[in-house]
Chain A
Amino acid sequence: DAGVTQSPTHLIKTRGQQVTLRCSPKSGHDTVSWYQQALGQGPQFIFQYYEEEERQRGNFPDRFSGHQFPNYSSELNVNALLLGDSALYLCASSSPGQGNYGYTFGSGTRLTVV
């Protein structure tokens, strides 16, 4: 049974560019949350998608946006990249009603902004 799949695993972007990260949730999971983990820090909650809508949002600017598709997969988009956006981006999925205590995390996408 595949867990949470994230792609790509690594990418390098130039300041000012836009990036899209992708996440396929674990089979049976319908909710996707995104976290940003800067080097030497703990993960920080960006937002959560459920039923194709953003349900909760952390303290991130509007440059960070997302989408959830009918098959529950999700994308994280970041516009106008800044050097400070360099981080490991983690996707976590959960099953109906489990919320934060049922999270399964992916291995992340390492984004480097130069």
Chain B
Amino acid sequence: AQSVTQPDIHITVSEGASLELRCNYSYGATPYLFWYVQSPGQGLQLLLKYFSGDTLVQGIKGFEAEFKRSQSSFNLRKPSVHWSDAAEYFCAVGSSNTDKLIFGTGTRLQVFP
């Protein structure tokens, strides 16, 4: 079955600390992988995406993610978190065969000053 797992429901970090949000997927076809961010009351904003090629992808706001096929993972990282990064983060998977995205349940990030 196609699915996305985000094991961490809630993460709290101090401002300036590094961050890693985990994402594991199960998908039959060659996956397209995405990270979105959602601020309260807002829609989804794309942080970055992976289709092929270099397995380390750079996104907006200083985020990056690494695709590891052997581990079926696509973890999101940021070296130094800012208070404005507090939000809900969603990992999603799709493919070239469909426009449908399958989302994980999200990780809520809280940042302390």
- The interface of chain A, by Cβ under 8 A from chain B, is 4, 31, 33, 40-45, 48, 55-56, 58, 90, 92, 94, 99-101, 103, 105-108
- B90 x A56 contact (CB < 8 A): no
Contact residues of B: prevailing secondary structure: strand
Measured as residues with beta carbon below 8 angstroms from the partner, the interface class of chain B is 20 to 34
A42–B43 touching, CB < 8 Å: no
Task: Identify whether the interface residues of A are mostly helix, strand, loop, or mixed.
Answer: mixed
> Residues of A contacting B43 with CB < 8 Å?
4, 90, 105-108
The reply to whether A103 and B105 form a contact with Cβ atoms under 8 Å apart is: no
Closest Cβ neighbor of B102 among chain A residues: A45
Q: Which of B44, B51, B101, B105 contacts A45 (CB 8 A)?
A: B101
Q: Which of A33, A44, A94, A108 contacts B103 (CB 8 A)?
A: A44
